[in-house]
């Protein structure tokens, strides 16, 4: 064995290294009450959890479940001033899809077919595009649902309608929405991600949703894809979103469901836990209740039917179980495929067990903010 191989870090030694680092003691805060409903009643789900997704965040973490609303939350948890330690290997500024010239002939044809459907359905101008894309619902029955999911189930905009993406990352969704005709803006705390969005010529601010506090009722749609579980004050986030929406505006949210079948199956190895970045994990009822308290009226639920979503969750959770990196790109096994079916199917007959809580919430048409 060469010296170079002897010094190379293995997954086991890397895991040991990060698990033995402590979070700064002055960077923790106690949570005496549920951050969703305020109840003091709770039970402990897990003790001593570590970052088994990116293997970069220090510390061991205890996850508790509220006895009232059944949301789950960390206690203690990182303070707002130190939470950045958990994001040193995060993926907000990764590259997007492969260029057309890098694709095989079959994949180029599939992309052209998909672009043809998107252009027909959403008014985009993607290239290459095939005119037979309008037949995608017949040729590939699951494809329209996949596209709808990628557009966050939004309708085509009317002229001049504005959209704000909170936690926009590298701007992938902003670019899709802009292509469909939305006037877009984004906000993200990651300076590298903000730089990528700026280079694309899109409006973006660095920080959280409070960076747009000066905007008033400026937006027809606000989107938050896998954001609310990361914030210290989810109620404050929703209240700010409500204030920024025009009357009749739409709020899109997707977040992991603590009552998902995947959590029941994989327990502490479930991909959705992702400590300590996920500070709070909702279920359908608790998020609906918090939305009502924040001023929103009706809620429209959605179910993700994309098989690749469940395949990814199954393979990542299995990797966590086996002490491998869950963000690796290893080829899914037949076990992953079987487990993916097991994750997706229960949500068909029991919507409380879907992997994600995915919904639209609405600001009442007759509401206007009265705060000066």
Per-residue pLDDT reduced to its tens digit, 258-303: 999 889 989 999 999 999 999 999 999 999 999 999 999 999 999 8
Query: Does some domain include residue 183?
Result: no
* Contacts of 261 by beta carbon, 8 Å cutoff, 6+ apart: 342, 343, 346, 347, 353, 355
Residue 46 lies in a domain: yes
What is the overall mean pLDDT for the chain? 86
Domain assignment present for residue 18? The answer is: yes
Is the overall model pTM greater than 0.85, yes or no?
yes
Task: Look at residue 49 and tell me if it is in a domain.
Answer: yes
Q: Is residue 41 part of a domain?
A: yes
Q: pLDDT tens digits for 20-40?
A: 589 999 999 999 999 999 999
Alpha-carbon span 52 to 45, nearest angstrom = 17
Rounded to whole angstroms, the Cα distance separating 5 from 331 reads 25
Q: How far apart are CA 61 and CA 135, in angstroms?
A: 50
In a domain, 312, yes or no: no
On whether residue 74 sits in a domain, the answer given is yes
Domain limits for position 35: 3-87
Half-sphere exposure of 103 (CA within 13 A, CB side): 13
Band (pLDDT 50/70/90 cuts) for residue 82 is very high
Strand 219-225 with 245-256, pairing? parallel
Tell me whether residue 252 is in a domain: no
What pLDDT is attached to residue 131? 92
Nearest-angstrom CA–CA distance, 147 and 140: 12
Q: Which tens digit of pLDDT belongs to each residue from 172-226? A: 999 999 999 999 999 999 999 999 999 999 999 999 999 999 999 999 999 999 9
Number of domains, the chain? 1
**Terminal Cα distance for the chain, rounded:** 71
Kindly provide the b/e burial profile for residues 247-281, where b requires at least 16 CB atoms within 10 angstroms of the residue's own CB: eebbbbbbbbbbbbbbbeebebbbbbbbbbbbbbb
| More confident position, 345 or 358 | 358
Sign of CA dihedral 184, 185, 186, 192: positive
């Amino acid at each position: 064995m060469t010296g170079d191989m002897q010094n190379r870090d293995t997954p086991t030694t890397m895991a040991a290294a990060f698990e033995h680092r402590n979070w700064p003691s002055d960077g923790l805060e106690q949570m005496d009450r549920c951050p969703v409903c305020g109840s003091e009643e709770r039970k402990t789900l897990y003790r001593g959890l570590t970052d088994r997704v990116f293997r970069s965040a220090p510390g061991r973490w205890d996850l508790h479940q509220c006895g009232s609303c059944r949301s789950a939350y960390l206690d203690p948890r990182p303070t707002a001033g130190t939470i950045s330690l958990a994001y040193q290997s995060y993926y907000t500024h990764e590259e997007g899809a492969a260029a057309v010239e890098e694709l095989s002939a079959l994949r180029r044809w599939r992309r052209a077919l998909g672009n043809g459907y998107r252009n027909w359905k959403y008014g985009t101008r993607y290239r290459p595009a095939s005119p037979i894309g309008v037949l995608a619902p017949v040729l590939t029955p699951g494809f329209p649902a996949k596209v709808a999911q990628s557009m966050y189930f939004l309708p085509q905009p009317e002229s001049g309608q504005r959209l704000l993406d909170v936690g926009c990352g590298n701007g992938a969704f902003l670019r899709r929405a802009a292509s469909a005709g939305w006037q877009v803006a984004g906000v993200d705390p990651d300076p590298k991600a903000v730089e990528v969005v700026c280079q694309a010529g899109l409006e973006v601010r660095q920080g959280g949703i409070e960076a747009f506090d000066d905007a008033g009722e400026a937006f027809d749609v606000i989107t938050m894809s896998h954001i609310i579980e990361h914030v210290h004050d989810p109620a404050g986030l929703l209240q700010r979103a409500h204030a920024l929406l025009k009357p009749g505006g739409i709020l899109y949210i997707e977040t992991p469901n603590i009552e998902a079948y995947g959590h029941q199956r994989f327990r502490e190895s479930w991909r959705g836990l992702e400590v300590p970045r996920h500070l709070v994990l909702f279920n359908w009822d608790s998020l609906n209740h918090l939305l009502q308290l924040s001023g929103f009226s009706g809620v429209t639920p959605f179910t993700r039917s994309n098989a690749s979503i469940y395949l990814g969750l199954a393979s990542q959770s299995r990797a966590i179980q086996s002490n491998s990196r869950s963000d690796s790109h290893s080829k899914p096994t037949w076990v992953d495929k079987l487990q993916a079916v097991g994750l997706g199917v229960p949500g068909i007959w029991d919507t409380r067990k879907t992997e994600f809580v995915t919904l639209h919430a609405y600001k009442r048409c007759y509401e206007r903010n009265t705060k000066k």
